[in-house]
């Protein structure tokens, strides 16, 4: 919920506009004068940050002039931030009825309705106001509350839609990133349960189980699940590449050879599988086959010009072939696509230094150190969180079954 600070209250109050007398029947002159006097007192107390004194004055204004949108809105806001949610609702609702464009007030109305378990009304009001809010803090609060309401009603698709909008708009907000993690994880779990009920013995189910085994660090179990998926459907999209990626992590040369076969199987199914082509280019590099490495990376860049990894790979092989002039624009493009890649900055610094561009080289060295240090810290954090995977060896896994399950 929004932070309960006087500063934020006053910020919201500034959004409440006073409606001209022509919008509703004017009260009797004496009532009007009294209402104006109480309203002046309320405003004075608000300026002095004395909301408890302002509330009774605003209540008197509302009694004398029920159509005073300013008094209704301010009273509703103050009651809300004092925790009197049920009492704030009729005041906030009345202000919106009098002046429907009070987006911030309607957001508070939705929050108050959520606090009082009027969840359908809260969802309706937050849905209406979410697209209209521009202020970062309130936009995030409304979005996260709305996503929470969707999740509570098992509407994960809508929750994910809201979280995705927030993540796109505020990629640096920790609370948004955490909400995205939770929502996507819940959606993933829901999909897994649905798949297990609909098609428990399908190739897709075994592919999903492979992902889960790999996530838990059981690499041999993941391999077994991938092989079961392939046995059911050898043309299952992505399965050969995913198995190849897993096998390629092994230190066993026999297993690494199997990885190459899986990458080639992926290409046989889909000749435009650019990631498999990059993987084969990397394997060619380990063999010292510059020609095949160059051909593969060139094809990958042609298929996917926006892939920073492919451009970096092609640039590296060109540097090895003493064609730095052709490598430079590729590295510059890769830097634009993936600014946090420390290797790109390192290689750019090397080329700039060779070309006598001292200032550019110094800048790239600084960026290299910055992003390398950042990734080293992240790697240490991830190492604490992740389960260490099993080592994959050919002699331990002849039948594609995890150890102890044969």
> Both tokens of residue 258?
């199997």
Q: Output the tens digit of pLDDT for each of the chain's 406 residues.
A: 443 443 344 344 443 433 333 344 455 557 788 888 898 998 888 888 898 999 999 999 999 999 999 999 999 999 999 999 999 999 999 999 999 999 999 999 999 999 999 999 999 999 999 999 999 999 999 999 999 999 999 999 999 999 999 999 999 999 999 999 999 999 999 999 999 999 999 999 999 999 999 988 899 999 999 999 999 999 999 999 999 999 999 988 899 999 999 999 999 999 999 999 999 999 999 999 999 999 999 999 999 999 999 999 999 999 999 999 999 999 999 999 999 999 999 999 999 999 999 999 999 999 999 999 988 887 776 666 555 566 677 755 544 444 334 3
Provide the H-helix boundaries in 130-202.
Answer: 136-152, 156-169, 174-198
How many residues does this entry show for the chain?
406
Q: Taking the model in full, what pTM does it have? A: 0.71
Note whether 394 and 222 are within 8 A (CB): no
The candidate with the shortest Cα–Cα distance to 209, out of 247, 239, 251, is 239
Quick one: which of 143, 79, 145, 77 has its CA closest to 111?
A: 145
Residues 327-340 as b/e (b if ≥16 CB within 10 A, e otherwise) read bbebbebbbebbee
Domains of the chain as residue ranges with CATH: 32-192 (1.25.40.10), 199-271 (1.25.40.10)
For residue 200, the tally of other CB atoms under 10 A from its CB is: 9
Cβ contacts of 385 within 8 Å, gap of 6 or more: none
Cα–Cα distance for residue pair 79/108, rounded to 1 Å: 11
């Amino acid at each position: 919920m929004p932070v309960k600070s006087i500063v934020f209250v006053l910020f919201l109050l500034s959004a409440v506009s006073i409606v001209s007398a022509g919008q509703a029947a004017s009260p009797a002159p004496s009532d009007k004068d009294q209402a104006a006097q109480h309203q002046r007192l309320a405003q004075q107390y608000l300026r002095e940050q004395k909301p408890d004194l302002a509330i009774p004055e605003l209540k008197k204004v509302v009694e004398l002039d029920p159509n005073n949108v300013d008094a209704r809105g301010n009273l509703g806001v103050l009651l809300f931030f004092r925790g009197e949610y049920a009492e704030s609702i009729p005041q906030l609702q009345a202000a919106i009825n009098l002046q429907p464009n009070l987006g911030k007030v309607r957001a508070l109305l939705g929050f108050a309705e959520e606090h009082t378990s009027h969840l359908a009304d809260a969802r309706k009001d937050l849905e209406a106001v979410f697209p209209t809010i521009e202020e970062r803090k309130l936009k995030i609060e409304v979005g996260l509350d709305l996503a929470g309401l969707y999740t509570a009603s098992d509407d994960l698709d809508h929750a994910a839609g809201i979280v995705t909008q927030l993540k796109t708009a505020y990629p640096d907000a920790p609370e948004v990133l955490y909400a995205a993690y939770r929502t996507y994880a819940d959606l993933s779990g829901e999909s897994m349960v649905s798949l297990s009920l609909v098609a428990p013995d399908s190739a897709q189910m075994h592919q999903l189980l492979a992902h889960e085994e790999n996530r838990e660090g059981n690499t041999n179990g993941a391999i077994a699940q991938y092989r079961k998926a392939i046995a059911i459907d050898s043309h299952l999209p992505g399965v050969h590449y995913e198995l190849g990626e897993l096998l390629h992590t092994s230190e066993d040369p026999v297993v690494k050879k199997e990885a190459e076969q899986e990458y080639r199987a992926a290409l046989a199914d889909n000749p435009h599988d650019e990631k498999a082509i990059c993987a084969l280019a990397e394997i060619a590099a380990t063999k010292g086959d510059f020609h095949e490495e160059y051909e593969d990376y060139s094809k990958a860049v042609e298929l996917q010009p926006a892939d920073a990894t492919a451009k970096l790979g092609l640039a590296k092989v060109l540097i090895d072939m003493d064609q730095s002039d052709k490598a430079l624009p590729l590295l510059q493009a890769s830097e634009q696509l993936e600014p946090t890649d420390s290797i790109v900055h390192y290689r750019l610094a090397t080329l700039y230094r060779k070309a006598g561009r001292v200032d550019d080289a110094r800048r790239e060295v600084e960026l290299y150190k910055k992003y390398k240090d950042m990734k080293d810290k992240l790697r240490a954090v991830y190492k604490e969180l992740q389960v260490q995977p099993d080592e994959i060896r050919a002699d331990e896994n002849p039948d594609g079954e995890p150890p102890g399950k044969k």
